[in-house]
Structure 1
């Protein structure tokens, strides 16, 4: 296996692990999920740019008669990126002792204030940062 295929395989595995953790892992950690809330999607243009660049690599690999395994790995990478950005929904999971937001668990004790803006954005002020959901 070439270095390119090895690197592609590592990134594909990391993206799959992230997708599995985001979909199933957070639901199972830190107790029972009391309230899951779907959030607005963001970064769609970033994913479109990434998939476009991978499509260029696929085209270049096919034209230069590169390895078929590399082509399949690039297609897999593009499909996983599309799943992560366009199919799955970002969410906030409220648990008994805290909540998961952006894949990070935050305890309720760290919340200093919560406000809801007029345009529907929930602002959570923590000890050292501000979360906008």
Structure 2
């Protein structure tokens, strides 16, 4: 097994670990999920470039008569990347004591101010940081408002 194969195996393992954390573990941590809101996908061009680079590497490996194992690893990584960037939705999970945004749990007590911008961003001011949250559907902003009214 070459160093390239080891690096590909590590990347595949890390992407799978992230996917399991994002889909299963995060939903179960810090209590029951009270509201789940899909967020708008970002960085579509960057992820397309990454998938294209993986395709170029697989093509180069095939034309240079590289090992079949490396080709399979590249294809597996491309499939996982397509899932993570294009099939899976980034989400906002509201729990009883806080919410998950960007896979980080934020307590409600850290919220100093909340606003809604004209272009559909939910702006949440924390102690030292500002979160700009853009939901996939505008109706979800009403659900978030109802959630905060009912649970605060």
Partner of 2:44: 44
Inter-partner Cα distance in structure 2 for 1:128 and 1:70: 45
RMSD: 0.5
Inter-partner Cα distance in structure 1 for 2:44 and 2:25: 24
Partner of 1:117: 117
Partner of 1:17: 17
What do residues 89-133 of structure 1 show as CA deviations (whole Å, max 9, x unaligned)? 000000000000000000001000010111111000000101111
Inter-partner Cα distance in structure 2 for 1:98 and 1:128: 17
Inter-partner Cα distance in structure 1 for 2:85 and 2:43: 7
Structure 1 runs of 4+ aligned residues shifted over 2 Å read none
Count of residue pairs the alignment pairs up: 133
Partner of 1:93: 93
SS at match of 1:128: coil
Structure 1: gaps (5+ residues)? none
Structure 2: gaps (5+ residues)? 134-152
Inter-partner Cα distance in structure 1 for 2:104 and 2:76: 27
